[in-house]
Structure 1
Amino acid sequence: MYGMLLESVQHFVQLEYGDETWKEVLQVAGCKFTVFNTHQVYPDDIMQNLAKACETVTASSYDSFMNFFGRCFVRYFSHFGYDLTIKATGRYFTDFLENVDNIHILFRMSYPKMKSPSMYLTNIDEKGCILVYKSTRQGYVQYFMGLLNQIAKDFFNLELKLKILDTQTSVTGRTSTTVRFRLDFDNTLYAMYFQSVLFELEFLRASTLNLGNTLQPEAAQTSSTGAIRKTSTGERPVSPYQLRRDSNTHGLKNILLRGQMRYIKEINLIIFLCSPLINDIDELPELGLYLNDLNPHGLSKEMVLAGWQHNSKLEFMFDKAEQRAQELESNYELLDEWKCKGDDLLYSMIPRTVADRLRTGCSSVSTCETFDIVTVMFCELVGHDFQTVEDVMDVVASMNAVFSCFDSLMDKFHVYKVETVGQIYMAASGAPERTKDHAINVADFSLALIKGVKDLRLPSGGEVDVKIGIHSGPAVAGVVGIKVPRYCFFGDTINTASRMQSTSIPGKVHSSPQTKELLPGDRYILESRGIITVKGKGEMETFFVYEKPNN
């Protein structure tokens, strides 16, 4: 069920903190999985890495997130009907705690690779109990505490207080952690109706058990996983007991025995009515058992055979689910890759802020806005005379090199490239992002273009020059077109800027008087060109813009 646990983590982190935070958490954690599948097997350290990443991304601590993950898991599996299993374990919270191991055993048919912890109770009283928790997974104590708190609250309407009494770590093949908790809650009803006497059983000799003719009593012993208690009915279901073999049993596995303890007062004995716990029919040879060794009067054989049939179907379903999960993972990666390519293409046609508005459902007409003042620049490549196809190809290669150089400077100077028509390059500042420095942005960009062209090496080996015109004034801008939408500018300001470019000279930035008024004199040299005749405007004093040497 580790996959379901990771699913719950993803679901509730996205719900509580948002998709962007979850993506950042995955990146910080170095997790290659973007989605999790219930039946897929994952490395044990993923959840801890996610908790550490959440700590880095947010202001909360690692322990608080592990506790949060435990509470999330309870809320998540309740949507899939697993809450019914918990509610059916008994009337009281203590009943649930005593039967957690049995619940895990029942789930092994659906989740054969599940690695569940073990737990048992001691010192049960009216104010709570002591719970002993043992797990081979390290660092899950806070997660376990969050899980118990949520179960007590949701299913038994209890306020639970947990206190760690002591912690032990042992290394026997695999490192395991044993933690003793004191659980404080209202246990009055349970203590009233189920007064019990504890019998601490450290070892039961195999000779006291009816184990079948394939096992030698002197070759085995069982070890209790906890305390056995005698209830008012004289019996109770217990967690599995392990039948341990010695080194002379030719590599046979230990056997888990599951059943009931019954106390016979008259002879002062405890009888263990049990049967071996077998996951599937393939496990029988590993245990040294056969079907005829199982209880002929119970359902042991039927359960093993039914489990074998269900497991074969489940294995097939798990394989298909894992294959689909891998395909989904691959598709998500392709989706992200193509989404990035689509975004790059869209943002090259439409400004980012305008494109994001269109994505939210706004119509293209709603993107049209009136701007009180913007600065527009036209730049024309000059110095090319072509008469043959080879000349044209040389011009195209040169234009590509020059315009690519221009594009690389746009973000630096906060200007927006409107379009290119032939050898004309148009850019603007002040729209769609309003800024008071639009004239300075365009002037700096224009001067940088002149410098960049001088230092540029063309594919043909030739030289190219530019003549630039700039003008400031009101304009209307918005998205035009459906199949091939573009962000376009309209108004007399665009016509005037085009006239500034057409009347400019190579290597110069030609400015209208309106733009000249917006450029600070301590930053630029503004040289009057005199009075010139501008088509559609009449006579106008214009200016050449230079950068001051100190700048």
Structure 2
Amino acid sequence: MYGMLLESIMYFGRLEYGEIVWEKIREDAGCKTADFNTHQIYSDSIFLQMATSCSNVLGKGDVNDYMRFFGRCFVRYCSHYHYDKMLRVTGRHFCQFLREMDNLHSQMRFGFPKMKSPSMVVTEYNREGALLQYRSSRTGLSHYLMGQLLQIANDFFDMPLNVEIISEESEARTQCTTFRLDFDNGGFVDEMVQKRRGFDREPLPSDSFELGTLFHQFPFGMVLGPELRIRYGGEKILMLLGMDVIGSPFTQHFIIQKPHTLLSWEAIIMFQNVVWEVESKNLPFNATTANSLDAFREKPPRRGSSQAPWSTDRSSLSSSRGLLLKGQMYIVKELNIALFLCMPLLNNLVEMREMGLFLNDLSMHDLSREMVLAGWQHCSRLQIMYNRAEEYSTKLEDSHKKNEEAKAKGDELLYSMLPRKVADILRQGNDPYEICQVRSVTSSAGRGSLLGYHVQTNKTFEEVTVLFAEVSLAEECVGMGAMDYLKIINGLYNVLDNTLEKYFVFKVETVGGVYMVVGGAPEHRADHCSQVASLALQMIEEVARSTSGSHGLRIGMHLGPVAAGVVGLKLPRYCLFGDTVNTASRMQTNGQVGRVHISEKCAKELEKFDFITTFRGKIQIKGKGEMNTYWLEGKAEPKSKFSWK
């Protein structure tokens, strides 16, 4: 479906339910974007996903209720952006409007060339309403159509309408739904009765009027019987296609382009009020004999032209080898025949010559001569604009896709430099210094379970865990070149980055061979110390495993308060400040390769999470004096809940 339908849902969904609620609905539906492009194609499943999410989030109504709401949204959207002018002049009465919907979709295809337009036919009508038959290759949109009909009846015709689904059937690849529409249809019925009275006059003598006389006025017309064979044809259609068309099946010589239905006598009766377009399967006889266009035989003619009518250049749009006819199928009940009263679609003099036609072959009572001499007709102009619009649309879709890809890469790079929530706040134009830190709410169900977020106005954290890890290379790496050194460090950092993804921590920075991580910022967690400790142990294991013990890490950890914020304009970074950072750095500096050196405060916190620590002793720490420090050895195995005897 086109994005225009989804735009209407997003616009009026926000108005109806508010930004916050609608954002929850959109996220529940899995919509990656809140905005859709009018002429871009999207999956039909988005409709059902949005309707299901509305029912889940709002907690009232079912999917069909919201599908009807979406249908109403589209009509309101058309009125809001003044797209309703064409809809308002489609029919004087509501029933006339319904009978013209197929023709309306036929014209809309120039603006929306990939539209899978449905078919809507009024099969019966009376003063109390009508039966509407709806066919579509897309399933699940019956209630969406109901919403549209209800809103159109209210906005355009100011009348109440009741819609009921009588039956739903599947036909090949289409779904056929029959609706019963209850409304005041008296005006339309009276108008149809008045039209019949206009024909209720004394008939002409049977020997004074023949079908041949009618087809002098419609030289391209044909007569079909219930068996769908061509019984009679106008002199020009016989001249172009040959006399052998008489008595042969209609589908043997013509392809039905519109309406989208299989040819049958019932279909002709049903689609009497719809414009028919058919194309001959074979090249017109006179186009290859009377004009002797050798080049034309080699290269098929094309429908439409942007050349002047006197130009000898060939047309340049969509190819079509046959003669294109456009007209109406009209049933004559008394004779049990169908009249196809049509005219050829010719764009200019060049195409007319290619078809083997001359001006005197065209009717005088219509505008076909004037349109050919003018060099264009409205379909040709629309087709030219459609081709151009389709090219622009394709380019726009490609540009939009590339833009989305570039945006995704930019987001990925940005989130690797800054915490996601901090980056999102900066995008809103806030001053980096005024960024509020985001903290989590811990549930009573257990330590570390996150229920939501609230904004903290200060820019400090009461307690976080800071980790420094320094890479220690093997002795044979001493004296190697800068590029070789860079390659080894990069490989080790990739190992650490992959390990980092498994824990709720944030990588602050890397300086030379030192890797800095924080737990509990910018999103506070009650188990931040446990997360960082588990990460530290696994970092040592992964580096030893990936390098077969050639290289190692010297890790230090400390627990305490910090100030945090984004600093810098050219290369903004999320940085931590305070004595806690300095102490963690001293733990790393005074540690040993392959071990995790932690402060006393950190060791006491880790005891709550069943980690094993051993006392190292009092050591002299620069700038801190003597401190009790510990080694982090690992984590105790969970105790069994049962004791076996």
TM-score range, shorter chain: 0.7 to 0.9
* Structure 1 stretch displaced more, 478-487 or 385-394: 385-394
TM-score where L is the length of structure 1: 0.74
Structure 1 position 365, deviation (Å): 0.5
- Between the aligned partners of 1:80 and 1:86, the Cα distance in structure 2 is 13
1:530 maps to what in 2?
617
SS of the equivalent of 2:394 reads: helix
Instruction: Please show how residues 307-456 of structure 1 align to structure 2 within 5 Å.
Output: 308-367=376-435, 369-384=459-474, 390-456=480-546
Residues 497-525 of structure 1 deviation map (CA, whole Å, 9 limit, x = unaligned):
11111111222211111112211167222
* Residues 280 and 467 of structure 1: CA distance in aligned 2, closer, same or farther (over 3 Å): same
SS of the equivalent of 2:559 reads: strand
- Between the aligned partners of 2:183 and 2:168, the Cα distance in structure 1 is 22
Corresponding position: 1:219 with 2:232: yes
Structure 1 position 478, deviation (Å): 0.6
The 8 Å contact of residues 276 and 327 in structure 2, kept in 1 or not, is answered as yes
- Between the aligned partners of 1:227 and 1:341, the Cα distance in structure 2 is 54
The 8 Å contact of residues 97 and 121 in structure 1, kept in 2 or not, is answered as no
Q: For structure 2, which runs of at least 5 residues remain unmatched after alignment?
A: 14-21, 57-61, 200-208, 224-230, 234-245, 251-264, 286-320, 437-458, 639-645
- Between the aligned partners of 2:159 and 2:427, the Cα distance in structure 1 is 47
- Between the aligned partners of 2:323 and 2:63, the Cα distance in structure 1 is 39
Corresponding position: 1:480 with 2:482: no
* Structure 1 stretch displaced more, 105-114 or 334-343: 105-114
* Residues 207 and 146 of structure 1: CA distance in aligned 2, closer, same or farther (over 3 Å): farther
1:83 maps to what in 2?
84
- Between the aligned partners of 2:481 and 2:98, the Cα distance in structure 1 is 86
- Between the aligned partners of 1:306 and 1:81, the Cα distance in structure 2 is 32
Instruction: Please show how residues 47-86 of structure 1 align to structure 2 within 5 Å.
Output: 48-51=44-47, 54=50, 59=55, 67=68, 70-78=71-79, 83-86=84-87
- Between the aligned partners of 2:356 and 2:528, the Cα distance in structure 1 is 85
Structure 1 position 436, deviation (Å): 1.8
Q: Relative CO higher for 1 or 2, CA cutoff 8 Å, sep ≥ 6?
A: 1
1:6 maps to what in 2?
2
- Between the aligned partners of 1:354 and 1:130, the Cα distance in structure 2 is 58
- Between the aligned partners of 2:467 and 2:168, the Cα distance in structure 1 is 73
Query: Which letter maps to 1:319?
Result: N
* Residues 515 and 116 of structure 1: CA distance in aligned 2, closer, same or farther (over 3 Å): closer
Corresponding position: 1:518 with 2:605: yes
* Percent identity of equivalent pairs: 35
* Residues 454 and 191 of structure 1: CA distance in aligned 2, closer, same or farther (over 3 Å): closer
TM-score where L is the length of structure 2: 0.65
Structure 1 position 472, deviation (Å): 0.9
1:509 maps to what in 2?
596
Structure 1 position 314, deviation (Å): 3.2
Residues 469-490 of structure 1 deviation map (CA, whole Å, 9 limit, x = unaligned):
1111111011010110111111
Structure 1 position 457, deviation (Å): 1.9
* Residues 546 and 74 of structure 1: CA distance in aligned 2, closer, same or farther (over 3 Å): same
Corresponding position: 1:490 with 2:488: no
Matched pairs, number: 510
- Between the aligned partners of 1:48 and 1:150, the Cα distance in structure 2 is 22
- Between the aligned partners of 1:191 and 1:382, the Cα distance in structure 2 is 93
Structure 1 position 242, deviation (Å): 9.8
Corresponding position: 1:545 with 2:632: yes
Residues 3-28 of structure 1 deviation map (CA, whole Å, 9 limit, x = unaligned):
xx72432312333366994996789x
* Residues 408 and 168 of structure 1: CA distance in aligned 2, closer, same or farther (over 3 Å): closer
The 8 Å contact of residues 51 and 62 in structure 1, kept in 2 or not, is answered as no
* Residues 384 and 12 of structure 1: CA distance in aligned 2, closer, same or farther (over 3 Å): same
SS of the equivalent of 2:607 reads: coil
* Residues 37 and 22 of structure 1: CA distance in aligned 2, closer, same or farther (over 3 Å): farther
- Between the aligned partners of 2:432 and 2:64, the Cα distance in structure 1 is 49
Corresponding position: 1:276 with 2:342: yes
* Residues 290 and 51 of structure 1: CA distance in aligned 2, closer, same or farther (over 3 Å): farther
* Structure 1 stretch displaced more, 69-78 or 471-480: 69-78
